[in-house]
A and B are shown apart, each in its own frame.
Chain A
Amino acid sequence: MALTDNCDLYGSIGEKGLNLVGRHVMRQRPSLFNYGTAGVAANRSLWCRAIDATRDVTEFADPLMSIAPPLPVPGTSEYCVQIVAVEIDFHPGNTIAIPPELGPPLPAQHFAGGARVCAGIGCPSEMLVDRLAAAGRGPKERERPGMTIPAAELDCFCLELFVLGHVETDGARLSAALDRLEIVEITPEGLEHGLECYLETLIRLAILPQLRVAVPTLALDLLDLATVTISPVSPSAAVPNNPAIEDDELRGFLDVAVAP
């Protein structure tokens, strides 16, 4: 059976290739995955994990860590959040061991995502806190947003995040959809649910909308000779899922129109 029996153009990418792409993005654009207050960003010894970046990132002086604003909490210390590993697993699940809360095995036409996130919050030394208290600086700091209390080191911890999702199209746009999210081994339960709810909302409302691709308008110039317009094949008995997640790949079936 040919790949294009039911379409003009077929494309697929395997999970191994996509995970390699993810690693290249992490090494070449580390500031997308590492966030910290100005004091942490400027002091590598405070980072929870060393950042692996390419030679080009260093030579072109790209930042390794994005500067994050201080938390809007009185007496906030330095902090950082680092996404240190990201992986995806297309159905059938075989590279990520999804936790029981997500109901393994991975359902058909679904993907699992896993990420390891490390974070740390600075704990100021007792001596500094005593000196600030004696000087009566506490209330003044609250009146100056953007100030953090310096820390000599960060207390770091790491979390394992898992997501379950699928890819969908409404005919006009192709997008990833989040079904469930799970953070492993956080107690108490209320804290875990609160964090999961916050992250799900963040992913659904802030991250995924930016990843939508308007498929019918995807047009390419062919050698400056013609415009190639690509549109998805409508689902049918021959193509029940488009895009499809199967055999460890994300697959798309497209029709092509060439116009001068």
Chain B
Amino acid sequence: MSEITVAASEDAVKELFVAMRDGFRFDKRDRVDFGPFSAGYDVALRLEDGEVDLRSDNSIAIEELDVKWDTLKAWLGFDIREICFGGWCILPTPFGCAVRVPRVCVFSRDPDIKPELDLSGIATSEVSVTASPETRYFVDPSRPPGMTPIQAEMAGMSNRWQVFLDPGDVDLDPIDIADTVGDLLERAVSESIDALLPGPDWFRDAILAILGPIIDLIRRLLSIPDEIGDWLSDLLNARLGLFNLIFGAILDYFAEQSAIVDFEDPFPILPAAGGLIPVKVPITDFAVRVSDVEMVVEADVGS
């Protein structure tokens, strides 16, 4: 029997889980270039709902944890070779050209066409994780041998007992985007092209007539409107690596980054006071186990 025992009921663990879940925040923006084609995203997410279940096999299941996208914006960029119109001389003179048609260049920027999609309302994700508590004893590798506990504390090299959740089964649904995004994307492409072209309507119509094949090519590249939802999901999840990024962030948060228990060993029981060193007690045989009704932490006091 251990000398020190602390047990938390399943209800208490659920309350602590809610506090941890509500504290999760993730945001990132990035871009990837694929030659003349580029894509990027700007995401911010939090977690909602989800159920915690303690299991008799020494594991904790977190089920149906919803990923809520406060921001999920994706953009596609197309860099097209610059095309210039005009500049021709319409009134030549012996001394040179008196009047020229104005010269207009398009596709001078990079990317030239950059339709932006706000997918915040039409994308969903869900994660389920089963994890087991794993106890680790951290020893600072740079701590010199023979250093006393107080010397280690002053040098910020104290040993630590830590408990992490070691993920077992992890199920994160890829970002699922409804096919209704097709219309959204087509409109965004058209608006992006319209904004690109200068001059009055008759002039833009003239240029569009010339550029028609290029715009059709872009639409064909995007497979609009067929299966645009799947295409965007694949782009975000696989090609931009957003799936792995979010997957890793959630796992890090619950399993790696946030030790559910983390304390110094020896454990301080009386603080330094009046010029005296703190009083610390060594903790041994620290362990965490889970049953279907509670999580139990046990430890002994070292001699």
Chain A residues in contact with chain B, CB under 8 A? 2-5, 7-14, 16-18, 20-21, 23-25, 28-29, 31, 54-57, 59-60, 62, 222-226, 228, 256-258, 260
Contact = CB atoms under 8 A, between A and B. Distances in A.
Contacts of B296: 3
A20 B301 contact: yes
B19 A222 contact: yes
A55 B300 CA distance: 23
12 contacts: A4-B12, A9-B8, A10-B6, A11-B7, A12-B5, A21-B269, A56-B151, A56-B277, A223-B258, A228-B19, A256-B8, A257-B15
A21 B281 contact: yes
A70 to B, nearest CB: 22
Contacts of A59: 148, 150-151
Contacts of A226: 16, 19, 22-23
B16 A258 contact: yes
B131 to A, nearest CB: 16
B19 A8 contact: no
Interface in B29-54: none
A10 B269 CA distance: 20
Given A11-B5, A223-B258, A256 B148 contact: no
Main secondary structure of the interface of A (DSSP, over half): mixed
B22 A225 contact: yes
A55 B12 CA distance: 41
Contacts of B148: 54-56, 59
Nearest to B18: A258
B217 interface: no
B19 A260 contact: yes
B272 to A, nearest CB: 9
Contact of A25 (B4, B8, B18, B279): B279
A14 B149 CA distance: 24
A222 B280 contact: no
B12 A16 contact: no
B23 A20 contact: no
B291 interface: yes
